[in-house]
Amino acid sequence: MSVLVFAENWDGNFKKLSFELVSYAAKVAEMTGTTATALSIGQVSDDELKKLGNYGAKKIISLKSDLLKNLDSQAYTAAIAEIAQNEGAKIIVLANNNMGKSIAPRLSVRLKAAIGSGTNKLPQSIDPFVVYRKVYSGNAFAHVKLNSEIKILTLMQNSFDPVETANEASIEEREVSIDGALVKTQVKDVQKQTGKLLLTDAEIVVSGGRGMKSPDNWGPLVELADLLGAATACSRPVSDEGWRPHEEHTGQTGKIVAPNLYIAVGISGATQHLAGVSASKYIVAINSDKDAPIFEAAQYGIVGDAAKILPQLVNAVKEVKAK
Amino acid sequence: MKILVCISNVPDTTTKVKFTDNNTKLDSTGVQWVINPWDELALTRALELKDNPASGVKGVTVAHVGPASSEPTIRKALAIGADDAIRVNFEPTEAYQVATQLAEVIKNEPFDIILCGIESSDYNGSTVGSMLAEFLNAPSVSAVSGLNVENGEATITRDIDGGKETVSVQKPFVAIVQKGIAKEPRIAAMRGIMQARTKQIKVVEPVGVSPLTELIEFEPPKPRAKCIFVDAENPKQLIELLQNEAKVI
Ligand SMILES: Cc1cc2nc3c(=O)[nH]c(=O)nc-3n(C[C@H](O)[C@H](O)[C@H](O)COP(=O)(O)OP(=O)(O)OC[C@H]3O[C@@H](n4cnc5c(N)ncnc54)[C@H](O)[C@@H]3O)c2cc1C
């Protein structure tokens, strides 16, 4: 018995999300009286793999098969299911990101395992096994009981703090019995954003809405984001109008983010926008309309003209930084 | 070549969500039911492809698992332009059941491309599409933001963390679609609404499937603390609060 956690890598490196997952799995393992085993797929060095041990994995399994070079949902599902079965894993943890969402439901069918998707907390109880998750796009939460022998959990990014522990983990390179005919996805082309902080990874996000008035007014918002080490985002009409790139669109139909701080500038706070940002720890709103619904979701607010306020915030951050 | 679009019937995205029966059921008083936004975009893209003779797409069917009361939503999909519809007469309580029923439909009537939305705006599970593909032993591509079909060959754009990939995949496949798949949802025109009245909704009986999960209760979100306002003449104070009180910068 064990808790198996799938730790995705990015060009051979892990990131905070990987450590959140492993720490979460280690905690769930502790709750169920077992240990966490981390699974890595791809070319990852032993030094990098060892890092998973620092967050509580007792064993690290590494699959380096060429057949798993690109994400093919069937091949990945077969590989993870095989390891889960060999390890006798009763709980499997994945990230609730693009990768996790494309595999976890398939694993659920293959292993007849109930899935608690997009949870942001530790299980509420182990027997019965009850998880807590967001529903109705953040307008409610649900307590859901998982009734199968094997259980799958997908964890929201930035919802569990990584915990470093002194721990020696063993690393095992393994082979799985997948067959080339299983791989039905061919990757033709990859376009990566480079050198930019990913919106979903950011701990601070500065976001602009239609109240920014024009695509030419973004200078101080971007400067504020740079000074704070933040990613930039926007509301849907802003990306629809082409003022900002589509990758920045947050909300129900765009990216769902949960940073520590979300600064909404000139955003009214429509339910569909809040659906993507309501899990943020702090929301700050800057809006000229004191009755804008965004103020109901915000902890801090300024009623005023964004064009005037942003440059002053930039200066204030510069002053603080200079100290 | 035929496309199947799986549609879910969900409360309008502006619905004030309330519960009844000790917080175990959505209070549906006054709720407007709509096609799940992503499914509506999927349908729009399927119809755009069918409109282009070079695609080779000849038919677009919608499938829904739900009781007769969701037929207005299916009619809406027909009015937007789907050729016909299949409804599995079953009230599911979770995704595993939905995927089981859809898989039965497709085993009896094969499709080349199956489109599902990335999530339903009510349960937010992001699971039906991939579960369905696993039941069918077919490949699935998730986070699809672009789909092109030429002479029956599909090219797919999918989002990866920090970028995009262009992929091709063997048919039949399930594409789980999100933003970008179509610009604006297609709206039903008067003619479409008239035509929809005579289009067929085939009702099929469900297969038996027990759920793997069980809802214990819903919980309304906790009210947030009241917003603290900073004077617009002194925005510097906001930075101080974020630094010293919230400790987030
Ligand atoms: C199915 C569906 C899905 C959707 N999904 C999303 C989604 O994912 N994300 C999303 O964002 N939206 C989404 N929407 C759209 C959403 O309903 C809103 O229309 C949108 O969020 C509004 O964007 P906004 O706040 O930038 O613009 P507006 O609503 O126009 O608000 C602009 C705000 O700026 C303020 N303002 C004006 N001038 C100034 C100034 N000088 N200084 C400061 N403030 C100023 C105004 O008071 C106003 O509050 C969706 C809608 C539907 C129907």
* A-chain residue closest to B243, CA distance: A320
**Quick check: A42 and A69 in contact, CB under 8 A?**
yes
Nearest to A133 by CA among A143, A145, A148, A123: A143
Distance A175 CA to ligand 1 centre (A): 50
Q: Tell me the HSE value of A119 on the side-chain side, using a 13 A CA sphere.
A: 27
Residues 8-67 of A with CB under 8 A from B: 10
* B-chain residue closest to A114, CA distance: B212
3-state SS class at B145: strand
Domain that includes residue A263, residue range: 204-322
Distance B27 CA to ligand 1 centre (A): 27
Kindly state whether residue A199 falls inside one of the protein's structural domains.
no
Q: Return the CATH number of B2-221, one of 3.30.56.10, 3.40.50.620, 3.40.220.10, 3.30.70.3340.
A: 3.40.50.620
Contacts of A181 (CB under 8 A, 6+ apart): none
For residue A80, give the CATH number of its domain.
3.40.50.620
- Tokens at A71, concatenated: 């994400």
* A-chain residue closest to B41, CA distance: A253
Domain map (residue ranges) of chain B = 2-221
Residues A149 and A214 in one domain: no
- The average pLDDT across A107-114 equals 98
Distance from CA of A58 to the nearest CA of B (A): 27
Contact A297 B218 (CB under 8 A): no
Kindly state whether residue A284 falls inside one of the protein's structural domains.
yes
Residues A153 and A221 in one domain: no
Q: Which amino acid is at A23?
A: S
Residues A149 and A253 in one domain: no
Kindly state whether residue A194 falls inside one of the protein's structural domains.
no
- Dump the DSSP string for A113-150: -EEEEEE-S--SBTTTTEEEEEEGGGTEEEEEEE-SSS
Q: Which residues of B touch A144 (CB under 8 A)?
A: 213-216
Instruction: Please write the tens of the pLDDT for every residue from A189-198.
Output: 999 887 789 9
A1 touches chain B (CB under 8 A): no
Residues A72 and A149 in one domain: yes
Residues A255 and A209 in one domain: yes
Distance A40 CA to ligand 1 centre (A): 40
* Mean pLDDT score across all residues of chain A: 96
Instruction: Please write the tens of the pLDDT for every residue from A174-226.
Output: 999 999 999 999 999 999 887 789 999 999 999 999 999 999 999 999 999 99
Interface size, chain A vs chain B, as Cβ–Cβ contacts under 8 Å: 268
A193, A198, A301 member nearest B229 (Cβ): A301
| pLDDT at residue A193, as a whole number | 81
- Tokens at A162, concatenated: 């990584």
The band of A162, judged by pLDDT with boundaries at 50, 70 and 90, is very high
Kindly state whether residue A195 falls inside one of the protein's structural domains.
no
Instruction: Please write the tens of the pLDDT for every residue from B95-113.
Output: 999 999 999 999 999 999 9
- The average pLDDT across B146-169 equals 94
| pLDDT at residue A1, as a whole number | 80
Q: Which residues of A touch B38 (CB under 8 A)?
A: 253
The band of B21, judged by pLDDT with boundaries at 50, 70 and 90, is very high
* B-chain residue closest to A129, CA distance: B213
* Mean pLDDT score across all residues of chain B: 96
Contact B232 A135 (CB under 8 A): no
Ligand 1 neighbourhood includes A209 CB (under 6 angstroms): yes
Boundary-marking domain end, from A148, A182, A216: A182
Boundary-marking domain end, from A182, A215, A247: A182
Query: Which residue shows structure tokens 């979100």?
Result: B221
- The ipTM estimated for the assembled molecules is 0.96
**Percent helix, strand and coil across chain A, each rounded to 5?**
35, 30, 35
Q: Which residues of B touch A71 (CB under 8 A)?
A: 160
If one counts the domains in chain A, the total is 2
Parallel/antiparallel/unpaired status of strands B163-169 and B153-160: antiparallel
**Quick check: A214 and A248 in contact, CB under 8 A?**
no
Name the percent of chain A lying above pLDDT 90: 95
> Which of A221, A272, A295 best tests ligand 1's pocket when mutated (most atoms within 8 Å of CB)?
A272
Q: Which amino acid is at B150?
A: E
Kindly state whether residue A192 falls inside one of the protein's structural domains.
no
- The average pLDDT across A141-147 equals 97
Contacts of B30 (CB under 8 A, 6+ apart): none
Ligand 1 neighbourhood includes A204 CB (under 6 angstroms): no
Ligand 1 neighbourhood includes A305 CB (under 6 angstroms): yes
Contact A298 B139 (CB under 8 A): no
For residue A281, give the CATH number of its domain.
3.40.50.1220
- Tokens at A206, concatenated: 């500065």
Kindly state whether residue A187 falls inside one of the protein's structural domains.
no
Nearest CA to ligand 1 atom 31: A268
B99, B121, B142 member nearest A98 (Cβ): B142
Q: Which residues of B touch A142 (CB under 8 A)?
A: 215-219
Phi, psi dihedrals of residue B111, rounded to the nearest 5° = -130, 155
Residues A22 and A164 in one domain: yes
A217 touches chain B (CB under 8 A): no
Residues A148 and A114 in one domain: yes
A187 touches chain B (CB under 8 A): yes
Residues A138 and A24 in one domain: yes
pLDDT greater than 90 at residue B224: no
Give ∠ CA A7-A13-A17 in degrees, rounded to 5.
Answer: 45
| pLDDT at residue A264, as a whole number | 98
